[in-house]
């Protein structure tokens, strides 16, 4: 069954007063309104969230949301795949519709994080690591530092090239009213910001963020009853890599990104050269070039050139992270993968405002851990 997306919304990302339940509710209701679909026809609800239990002592958020917005007795499930929970939600929503199990599936992703200190947040997120990593205080940012040093050394990459990713994504975010940071920065700002995990600095990393996003899925045949304005989810696939990061033969190769991308392209019947716009998981600047390489946009060791040569800007041949990415739109863990697809939906329907690019086919890549679990999706304009 061909799967359509007929509604998409996100709440403003940043530091929010609302807790997880309110964030999820706001995105869910706005999405149904956006599509002009009533609650009575929603068969299934998926809620992408990494750690509401750890962040605010609240579990069962999918049931609470279903009841709060009048979806009962619809099937409701929480989708947890650490920071790739949103991408995993796309996969779950696709499965629910493609299988014929649901004729209307609502996907809502959200996370409430900023009430915790950075140290607490960091501990919650790094609790996904293996015990032999966790005991040494290994964090996701530290994997990025270890991998960045290997990447810069091995491919003789200029350090400034990573800063260019942050500069570009901040510039894009100034055109996104829902972004956390709407402030331009330059490479000097990045290279003089406080060190976090040598050689990477504060402005190489995404912030801690509250926020939510939602998408509404149904068969293409059903979509046409509601609207002419919809996009197709033509490819979606997930993959995993080792839990222990040092076991990877080549730490600079994102194997799960490559594998999920390969499968998503195969399903969509296209290749990297057919993609017009992409939302990549720039939890840290380094990941944007590594994903460009793993997805086949760039040759091995060459991904860093894209930002340097302005190929990924709004006017480049492959605009990447038009939303501002995780770096500047923000990264509310469970919401991110959903928000990536919301951005592509807007781009494909010509609703992206000042950051609009010319695109018929878009890609999202949502990464959990340091490449531990990944979902890649291809969306196409009708």
Of 72 and 127, the one with the shorter C-beta distance to another protein is 127
CB of residue 366 vs another protein: minimum separation in angstroms? 23
User: Segment 242-271, which members bind another protein (CB under 8 A)?
Assistant: 242, 244-247, 251
> What residue spans of the chain are helical by DSSP H?
20-35, 52-56, 61-68, 85-98, 118-126, 131-134, 140-155, 159-173, 187-191, 220-226, 255-268, 287-294, 305-308, 325-328, 333-349
Does 337 help bind another protein (rule: CB under 8 A)? no
Tell me the Ramachandran region of residue 60: left when phi exceeds 0, alpha when psi lies from -120 to 50, beta otherwise.
left
CB of 190 to another protein, least distance (A): 16
Least distance (Å) from another protein to the CB of residue 151?
A: 9
Least separation in angstroms between residue 48's CB and another protein is 21
Q: How far is the CB of 244 from another protein (least distance, A)?
A: 7
- Taking contact as CB under 8 A, which single stretch among the options 18-26, 216-224, 237-245, 261-269 is the one that binds another protein? 237-245
**Parallel/antiparallel/unpaired status of strands 277-279 and 211-219:** unpaired
Q: Kindly identify the residues of this chain, within the stretch 135-154, that bind another protein according to CB under 8 A.
A: 135-139, 141-142, 145-150, 153
Binding to another protein in span 39-68, by CB under 8 A: 54
Stretch that binds another protein, among 197-205, 214-222, 228-236, 274-282 (CB under 8 A): 197-205
C-beta closer to another protein: residue 216 or 290:
290
Cα separation values, 277 from 21, 61, 322, 345, Å: 32, 32, 8, 11
Total number of residues that touch another protein (CB under 8 A): 42
Is the dihedral angle over the CA atoms 23, 28, 29, 30 positive or is it negative? positive
Judged by CB, which is closer to another protein: 199, or 301?
A: 199
| 3-state secondary structure string across 229-272 | CCEEEEEEEEEECCCCHHHCCCCCCCHHHHHHHHHHHHHHCCCH
Q: Please state the closest distance from residue 14 (CB atom) to another protein, in A.
A: 20
Check the CA dihedral 23-79-323-113 and report its sign.
positive
Quick one: CA torsion of 325, 329, 335, 338, rounded to 10 degrees?
-50
166 vs 359, beta carbon nearer another protein: 166
**Residue 251 or 261: which CB sits closer to another protein?**
251
CB closer to another protein, 138 vs 280:
138
DSSP-derived secondary structure letter, 355: G
Mode of pairing for the β-strands spanning 195-197 and 200-201: antiparallel
What x-and-dash track marks residues 96-135 binding another protein by CB under 8 A?
---------------------xxxx-xxx-xx--xxxxxx
**Residue written as tokens 């480049």?**
316
What's the CA gap between 102 and 24, in Å, rounded?
21
Least gap, CB of 166 to another protein (angstroms): 17
Smallest gap from Cβ 194 to another protein, in A, equals 7
CA atoms of 222 and 256, how far apart (whole Å): 33
Q: Applying CB under 8 A, which residues contact another protein?
A: 54, 117-120, 122-124, 126-127, 130-139, 141-142, 145-150, 153, 194-200, 242, 244-247, 251
């Amino acid at each position: 069954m061909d799967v359509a997306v007929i509604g998409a919304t996100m709440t403003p990302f940043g530091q929010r007063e609302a807790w997880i339940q309110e964030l999820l509710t706001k995105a869910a209701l706005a999405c149904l309104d956006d599509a002009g679909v009533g609650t009575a026809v929603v068969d299934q609800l998926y809620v992408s969230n990494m750690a509401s239990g750890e962040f605010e002592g609240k579990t069962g958020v999918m049931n609470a949301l279903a009841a709060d917005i009048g979806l009962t007795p619809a099937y409701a499930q929480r989708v947890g795949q650490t920071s790739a929970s949103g991408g995993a939600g796309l996969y779950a929503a696709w499965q629910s519709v493609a299988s014929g199990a649901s004729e209307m599936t609502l996907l809502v992703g959200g996370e409430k994080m900023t009430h915790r200190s950075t140290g607490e947040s960091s501990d919650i997120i790094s609790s996904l690591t293996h015990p032999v990593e966790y005991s040494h205080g290994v964090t996701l940012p530290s994997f990025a530092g270890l991998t960045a040093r290997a990447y810069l050394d091995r491919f003789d990459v200029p350090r400034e090239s990573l800063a260019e990713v942050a500069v570009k994504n901040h510039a894009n975010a100034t055109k996104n009213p829902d972004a956390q940071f709407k402030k331009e920065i330059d490479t000097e700002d990045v290279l003089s910001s406080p060190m976090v995990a040598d050689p990477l600095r504060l402005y190489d990393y995404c912030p801690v963020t509250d926020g939510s996003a939602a998408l509404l899925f149904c068969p293409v045949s059903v979509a046409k009853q509601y609207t002419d304005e919809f996009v197709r989810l033509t490819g979606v696939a997930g993959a995993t890599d080792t839990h222990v990061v040092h076991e990877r033969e080549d730490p600079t190769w994102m194997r799960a990104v490559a594998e999920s991308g390969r499968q998503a392209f195969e399903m969509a019947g296209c290749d990297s050269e057919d993609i017009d716009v992409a939302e990549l998981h720039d939890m840290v600047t380094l990941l944007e070039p590594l994903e460009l390489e793993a997805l086949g946009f760039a040759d091995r060791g060459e991904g860093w050139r894209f930002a340097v040569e302005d190929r990924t800007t709004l006017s480049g041949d492959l605009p990447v992270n038009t939303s501002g990415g995780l770096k500047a739109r923000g990264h509310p863990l469970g919401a991110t993968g959903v928000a990536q697809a919301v951005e592509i939906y807007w781009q494909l329907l010509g609703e992206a405002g000042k950051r609009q690019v010319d695109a018929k086919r878009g890609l999202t890549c949502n990464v959990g851990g340091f490449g531990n679990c990944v979902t890649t999706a291809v969306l196409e304009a009708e």
